[in-house]
Amino acid sequence: MLPIDRGTPPDSLASQSPHQTSMPDQNQTSPAERLLPKLRAILGDRGMLTDASDTAPYAEDWRRLYQGKTPAVLRPADTAEVARVVVACAEAGVALVPQGGNTSMVGGATPSPDGRALVLSLSRLNRVRSIDPIDLTVTLEAGVILKAAQNAAAEAGCLLPLSISSEGTAQIGGVLATNAGGNNTVRYGNARDLVLGLEVVLPDGQVWNGLRRLRKDNTGYCLRQLFVGSEGTLGVITAAVLKLVPQPREREVALCTVASVQGALDLYTRFNRSDPAAIQAFEYMSGAGVDFVLRHIPGVSLPFEPASHYVLVELATPRIGAGLRASMEAVLTGAMEEDMVSNAVIAESEAQRANLWKLREEHAEAQKREGASVKNDVSVPVSKVPELLERAQAAAALLMPGMRMVPFGHMGDGNIHLNFEQPEAMDAAVFLAQDHAIMDMVGEIVQSLDGSFSAEHGVGMLKPYMMPSWRGGAELDAMRRIKQALDPRGIMNPGKVLPDAATR
Ligand code: MLT
Ligand code: ZN
């Protein structure tokens, strides 16, 4: 274990704002650059990328909001190498930015533009260590892609009940570090609800092996939940034990159109009264978002005429002879008789299910192809979703005429991606310069509805400025103390989650 003093953070770790552009003196090498030979000795050539063309994809976020810079991407092969890297960086006071599939929506895994932090890619830690269909657990390394984890569970006759649009790229470490939510939260909760155990490399290089697979374990503080959702600011998650559930025996997916957001809520209530335990996903989509998907994503089609509001609902159960098809039909028929639903289709095959889900899952990609957008990943009590969207639409029209509201998301758990697309004729940079005004406009409404400005994407680099007004006082103070206790030199993912110390 490396003794670490409680001195002031090294200059390389000064907090960064998204718009910061300061660069190191061209003639001086940074502490990170000076550390590279030592790191190469630990990782070997295969474990390091240093060419600018190789590191560039790791230095930019998925949304292309942040162009960072790094002298190297470190690619350790196992937990022991991660620990040795962390010790070396801690000794030298060099910052590390842990990165998985680089799918963050909030710049949570992007290094700052000053080029003084190193990216720590976990992608080579990609083994499924074990899977147990009796205990219903899987032990995975951080770099396993979520889709591969789902497949491994399915091969063992189980379901890993965590599904997000980026699951083909996102890695387990990042999914846990950000406490991802996604489509099945309505039934199984968020990523943290699936975590039984963790292995974490602490900021001083100690390895905490907490890979337990117990359903009950009240032994002191629940450390694993501290690291889940900490966005790489408290340590590096290197492996995890996740809960599995039995594989569904019946599964039904339906797409329908409703007259309004209130209609979508009424339909949700109807499904809930019919068979709450069967609701696997309940997703809302607006006409604007579906239009974007149809325009930009090849091979996706709509089974009926376009509408202004859509619901995608999935029912699933491991019960034998549950009759899900009949209950899906009964709820939809009843809703149609009362004019709550105007059109509805139930998928008849796996291919049709995939097509319906594609309409929903391609929203983020389609929105990106349409132009610049400001995302608001908000949550409110489910009953308040209609009011949220109504008030946001009115406020947006006043703030920026022509701005297109594209709300969609996980209505069943109250998490709406209340995104705004630039007005068609506006320059993207001019639009994005208004990001705080748009986020604050939404934030005010969300706050009045007892909601959250950060439902499932995290705070990252985009939103620390919002922390004092949403989590200020005792809560932010406690978070700062935790950070200081575990990472006194501030080497773990600086500039993310917490605003700089001067901001109260
Ligand atoms: C989704 O559910 O598709 C996302 O979390 C993406 C988004 O906000 O764009
Ligand atoms: Zn989402």
Residue 459 has which token pair? 């705070």
Q: Say if residue 37 is in the same domain as residue 106.
A: yes
Ligand 1 mean position, distance from CA 48 (Å): 31
433 within a domain of the structure (yes/no): yes
Ligand 1 contact via 63 beta carbon (within 6 Å): no
pLDDT in tens, 176-215: 999 999 999 999 999 999 999 999 999 999 999 999 999 9
Predicted confidence at residue 501, as pLDDT, reads 76
Is the dihedral angle over the CA atoms 400, 402, 408, 414 positive or is it negative? Answer: positive
CA of 248 to the centre of ligand 2 (A): 23
Residue nearest to atom 8 of ligand 1 (CA): 417
| Single-letter residue type at 368 | K
* pLDDT for residue 27: 62
What is the structure's pLDDT at 14?
Answer: 36
**Which residue has a Cα nearest atom 3 of ligand 1?**
165
Specify if 181 maps to a domain: yes
In a domain, 266, yes or no: yes
232-263 pLDDT tens trace:
999 999 999 999 999 999 999 999 999 999 99
Q: Which atom of ligand 1 is nearest to the CA of 361?
A: 3
CATH code, domain with 399 = 3.30.70.2740
Instruction: Report if residue 5 sits inside a domain.
Output: no
Arithmetic mean of pLDDT over the chain: 94
- What are the tens digits of pLDDT across the range 384-410? 999 999 999 999 999 999 999 999 999
Cα(173)–Cα(166) distance, integer angstroms: 14
Same domain? 140 vs 236: yes
Q: For 7, which DSSP code?
A: -
CATH number (domain holding residue 157): 3.30.465.10
Q: Which atom of ligand 1 is nearest to the CA of 375?
A: 8
Instruction: Specify the CATH number for the domain of residue 100.
Output: 3.30.43.10
Q: How many domains does the chain have?
A: 5
Range of the domain at 225: 128-246
**Phi, psi angles (nearest 5°) of residue 72:** -160, 150
Same domain? 256 vs 356: yes
The strand ranges marked E within 259-324 are 279-286, 309-317
Residue 158 CA to residue 91 CA, distance in Å, equals 44
Final residue of a structural domain among 342, 363, 384: 363
Pocket probe mutation, ligand 1, options 165, 190, 453, max atoms within 8 Å of Cβ? 165
| Contact partners, residue 269, CB within 8 Å, separation at least 6 | none
Q: Give, using CA atoms, the residue closest to atom 6 of ligand 1.
A: 364
| Nearest atom (ligand 1) to Cα of 165 | 3
Domain C-terminal end among 96, 121, 146:
121
Whether residue 75 is found in the same domain as residue 166: no
Ligand 1: which residue has its CA nearest to atom 7? Answer: 364
| Residue 128 CA, ligand 1 centroid: distance in Å | 26
Does the C-beta of 75 come closer than 6 Å to ligand 1? no
CB neighbours of 501 closer than 8 A, spacing ≥ 6?
15, 480
CA of 138 to the centre of ligand 2 (A): 24
Q: What is the pLDDT, as a whole number, of residue 13?
A: 39
Q: Is 286 domain-assigned?
A: yes
| Residue of 65, 164, 421 best suited for mutating to test ligand 1, as the one with most atoms within 8 Å of CB | 164
pLDDT by residue for the chain (504 residues), tens digit each?
333 333 333 333 333 333 343 454 556 899 999 999 999 999 999 999 999 999 999 999 999 999 999 999 999 999 999 999 999 999 999 999 999 999 999 999 999 999 999 999 999 999 999 999 999 999 999 999 999 999 999 999 999 999 999 999 999 999 999 999 999 999 999 999 999 999 999 999 999 999 999 999 999 999 999 999 999 999 999 999 999 999 999 999 999 999 999 999 999 999 999 999 999 999 999 999 999 999 999 999 999 999 999 999 999 999 999 999 999 999 999 999 999 999 999 999 999 999 999 999 999 999 999 999 999 999 999 999 999 999 999 999 999 999 999 999 999 999 999 999 999 999 999 999 999 999 999 999 999 999 999 999 999 999 999 999 999 999 999 999 999 999 999 999 999 999 987 655
**Nearest residue to 122 (alpha-carbon basis) of 66, 50, 73:** 73
Residues 144 and 230 grouped into a single domain:
yes
Q: Are residues 292 and 199 part of one domain? A: no
Q: Given 246, 269, 288, which residue is the final one in a domain?
A: 246
Is residue 93 domain-shared with residue 151, that is, in the same domain? no
The pTM (predicted TM-score) of the whole model is 0.93
Query: Which one of 362, 408, 439 would you pick to mutate in the ligand 1 pocket, going by the greatest count of ligand atoms within 8 A of its CB?
Result: 408
In a domain, 291, yes or no: yes
Q: Is 106 in the pocket of ligand 1 (CB under 6 A)?
A: no
* 226 lies in some domain: yes
